[in-house]
Amino acid sequence: MKLLITGGAGFIGSNFIRYWLNKYPDDKIVNLDVLTYAGNLENLRDVEGNKNYKFVKGDICDADLVDKLVKDIDLIVHFAAESHVDRSIQNSEDFIKTNVEGTRVLLDAAKNNGGIRFHHISTDEVFGALSLNSDPFNENTPYNPRSPYSASKAASDHLVRAYFHTHKLPITISNCTNNYGPFQFPEKLIPLFATNLMEGKKVPVYGEGGNIRDWIYVDDHNAGVDAVVKKGKIGETYCLGGENEITNLEITKNILNLMGKGEEMIEYVSDRKGHDFRYAMDITKAKKELGWEPKLKFEEGLKKTVGWYKNNEDWWRKIKTGEYMKYYKKQYNENNK
Ligand code: NAD
Ligand code: TDX
């Protein structure tokens, strides 16, 4: 099987490529990534020599390029997105371009080339925000996105379903909760806090730190996507999650603990605008229909992840100083001479 992975140089996409090539070593992967600030080829250094792996630098909004690339593809797994809520609050333009228009371009290429199997990676945030006592989201929860990021992801989910109903495109969608693990860009809570502490900086907790997220280890998410792709019903959506709700303040204390630091390193800062209070996912459908469930306990996963950031200072320091942008442009040009 030959797969087109979009956004494979980012956090989840790069972990997914590694996961897939390990599990299905005979499959071929083309990774299409434009290398925004979040795309980093160092995330894939260990697979770049694999004969079944090919990187293409390009934009998912480039219809001609995408149309050419999908010609001999059996499965598209679409990760590429602008993914950071805070950035979408500052400026939503790229979120609409990549998340909505980019998804439209990919869907048209899949449709115009014989109806290629298409899996769309989405998020729990499309469902809105929960209060403390409400039931977790499930596949039937009405959409109610509240940030420009989640609104753009919701729009893309609707488009994907529309291509199924209108054009019979063989699609599936997975909506997952907050991922954590190696190679996550240090703007997101867990890597930002771990790396700040290694730099001797404080950790900025928004508001009072009472907001709740459901965290899943990235390879548990990837196993879920694998299960949907192999066993999911065409046209269906599957909710994936870690069954692991925790407040931001509890996570912060866990990270401080793992780093041997005290609570004086917490800095309470202004709250995120429109900050969703709680996300949680009911994953009964994925468990029953796919036989999938998250495996790694959060305590263990967090320890492993913080340990990874401790052991990979070179990776995140180059990102935090901006050096990685120069380095990777140079490396890319050299590889493609
Ligand atoms: P990320 O920001 O780490 O990576 C995104 C990747 O997409 C980068 O490599 C970037 O260069 C690439 N990209 C962006 N715009 C592009 C374009 N126009 N053309 C080609 N490539 C482009 O994101 P992530 O955290 O790995 O998230 C991946 C996907 O999973 C996204 O669709 C996101 O919405 C979804 N998701 C993320 C989480 C999470 O907790 N991180 C949870 C649920 C769903
Ligand atoms: O500095 C911070 N301080 C803080 O208190 C940051 C960066 C975050 N937070 C809070 C905001 C959230 O309640 O921590 C929580 C997690 O924040 P993020 O790591 O930015 O993730 P979140 O906004 O929950 O969105 C993530 O999960 C769903 C991903 O970034 C999305 O791409 C995914 O769809």
Percent of the chain with pLDDT over 90: 95
Whether 334 has a pLDDT exceeding 70, the answer reads no
What is the identity of the amino acid at 85?
V
Q: Which ligand is nearest to the CA of 79?
A: 1
Cβ atoms of residues 130 and 137 within 8 Å? yes
- 125 counts as catalytic: yes
Q: Please give the distance, rounded to the nearest whole angstrom, from the Cα atom of residue 86 to the centre of ligand 2.
A: 8
Q: Is 146 in the pocket of ligand 2 (CB under 6 A)?
A: no
337: pLDDT strictly greater than 90:
no
189 C-beta closer than 6 A to ligand 1: no
Ligand 1 atom with the smallest distance to the CA of 149 is 34
Distance 230 CA to ligand 1 centre (A): 22
Residues 139-152: pLDDT tens digits? 999 999 999 999 99
CA angle 217, 288, 171 (to 5 degrees): 75
Residues 78-93 pLDDT 10s: 999 999 999 999 999 9
- CATH class in words for 2-183+216-243+279-295+323-335: alpha beta
Pairing mode, strands 245-247 and 212-217: antiparallel
Name the band, by pLDDT with cuts 50, 70 and 90, for residue 183.
very high
Q: Which residue has the tokens 């305590």?
A: 299
Residue 336: pLDDT above 90? Answer: no
Ligand 1 pocket mutation pick from 11, 82, 240 by most atoms within 8 angstroms of CB:
11
Whether this prediction's pTM lies above 0.85 is answered by yes
Question: Is the shortest distance between the CB of 272 and ligand 2 below 6 Å?
Answer: yes
Ligand 2 contacts CB of residue 221 (under 6 A): no
Burial state string for 136-175 with b = 16 or more CB within 10 A and e = fewer than 16 = bbebebeeebbbbbbbbbbbbbebbbebbeeeebbbbbbb
Where in the chain are the domains? 2-183+216-243+279-295+323-335
pLDDT of residue 327: 61
Of the listed 149, 180, 238, 328, which one is catalytic? Answer: 149
